[in-house]
A and B are shown apart, each in its own frame.
Chain A
C-alpha cells in the first residue's frame, strides 16, 4: 500500500516545493513515487496543493482519496482536506496562521508555528522547510540526511547560501518536535 500525503497552502508558501522535495528524497531512497500538483483555473495568491504517493511497489493512482498525512499551511487548506485524512493519520498545522482546531479526534495533530519560526530565523520564505523538518521527524519516511541531500540537489550547486539557510530551517523544524 502507498503512503500518501497532501501539502496545501497559499500560492507562494512553497507547498509544491515541499511535495516535490519529499518525492525526490523518497525516489533517492529507492521508492516508487508519484507527485501530482493541483492544476487548473487557479488565481494568483489563491490556494495551491499537491499530492505525493510513496510505495515499495508500482503506484496505481497518484490521487489520494484517504491520505495518511495532511500538511496544512493555511486555514482554507485545513477545511478543504481535514475530512479526507484516514483515521490514525496525522495533520500538520502551521499554527502561526491557523487558529482553528481540526474537527478530527481520530487523527494525530502536529502543530508547528513554522511562519513564526521562519521570521525568527530572519527569512519568512523558509517556513515550508521548517515544516518539512517536523514532517520528516514525525513520519520517518526518509532520513534527515537523504532529505537534505535531495534538497541540495534540487536547489542546485549555485545557491550555496540558499542551501545553508534551508539546512538550518530544516533543523529548526526537526528539533522543534519533541520525540
Chain B
C-alpha cells in the first residue's frame, strides 16, 4: 500500500527528498526537530544527498544559499525564533534570485515564546521578513496530505521563478500524524544559466545582491517586482467550503482553518448559522480578488487566527469595506476546539442581527 501514517515534520522531509532536494542544512529547534532528524537519517540514502547540522540557523540559510547557487535543490527549516535569525539570508536569496525552500513550523511568540502551535509569524512570512523590497511565495497547508503536495510544489515554484518559497505551518501540523500519499514529483525544470559550476573555458559568472549603482539597483528592484506581479497573477491558491448558501464566511488558514471547518459543520448540523469557509492556501500571493468576489452576496466575514490579528489586515485590504469583518484570535499557543469556535461564531452572528 502506498499510504503512510507519518508526522507532518517527517512528511515534509520525505516529500522534499522525493522532489529531488539534495542539500539540507538545519539547526535543532522544537517543534520541528523531527524534520531535521528525518533529513539526517534519509538524506544519505538519496543519491548525492547532503545533510548538514549547521552551527547556527544563520549558517544554515547561508549554506543553502551556496548550494542553490551551485544548482542543488535546497531546503532549510526552523521554528519561529530560528526563522527570525534566517531573515538576512532569505533577503539575500530573494536578491540573488536563488531557488530555495524554507520551512517554518511556527510556535508561540514573540521572543523565545513557547513550543505550542501558533500563527504569529504571518506578517514576517508574507511581508518578506528581511530587509528590502522583496516577497516570498508562502504556502499555508492545513492537512498532512497538503504538506506533502505543497512541499513538492514549493520546489517547482522556486525553480520556476528563481525565488525563495516558504512553507508556513505550526507545531500542531509538524507533530500530528495523518495518512498521506506521496504524488509523483514532476521532472525538474530550470535554467542552468545562472548556476555557478566553474566557468571552464566560458565567461565567468557572478551572483550577488550588492549592486552599488542606484539606477542598476532600481532596475533590479523593478525586475523583482515584475516577477512578483506574474506570481500574483498565476499562482494564487485557495479553498472554499460551503460558501454557496453561506450567510457568514469564516476566513482562516492552516490549523485554524481545520478547526473552523469543524465548527462550521457543527453550526450547520445544529441549524444555527449557515456559515462557510474561505481558506487561503497561498498566503502570499493572497487570494484578494477571489475573497472580494464573495462580498457580492455575503456581507459578514469573521477572521479566525491563532494570533492577535495579522491575516486580518489582508482580509481588510481584500474586502475594501464591501463587507463587515469580525475577528477572533487565540495567540500564544492556545488552540481552541471546534465546539468553542462554533460558539464564538454563533455569538458573533447573533450579535450582528
Contact = CB atoms under 8 A, between A and B. Distances in A.
Interface stretch (A29-37, A99-107, A108-116, A131-139): A29-37
B41 to A, nearest CB: 15
A61 B142 CA distance: 11
A60 interface: yes
Interface string B275-302: 0000000000000000000000000000
A31 to B, nearest CB: 9
Given A61-B338, A63-B335, A39 B115 contact: yes
Nearest to B241: A58
A20 B115 contact: no
A33 B115 contact: no
Nearest to B174: A39
Contact of A60 (B115, B176, B259): B259
Interface string B248-278: 0000000000110111010000000000000
A46 interface: no
Nearest to A50: B177
B113 interface: no
A27 B335 contact: no
A157 interface: no
Nearest to B6: A35
A40 interface: yes
Given A40-B30, A60-B262, A60-B265, A20 B337 contact: no
Contacts of B263: 60
A27 B337 CA distance: 23
B3 A27 contact: yes
A63 B179 CA distance: 17
Given A23-B5, A65-B339, A35 B262 contact: no
Contacts of B172: 36, 62
A20 B116 CA distance: 21
A179 to B, nearest CB: 30
A33 B262 contact: no
Interface string B71-91: 000000000000000000000
A20 B338 contact: no
B155 to A, nearest CB: 26
B1 interface: yes
A72 B38 CA distance: 30
B31 interface: yes
28 contacts: A20-B177, A33-B5, A33-B179, A34-B176, A34-B177, A34-B178, A35-B177, A35-B178, A36-B176, A36-B177, A39-B31, A39-B171, A39-B175, A40-B116, A41-B115, A58-B143, A58-B261, A59-B262, A60-B258, A60-B263, A60-B265, A60-B338, A61-B259, A61-B262, A61-B337, A61-B338, A62-B176, A63-B337
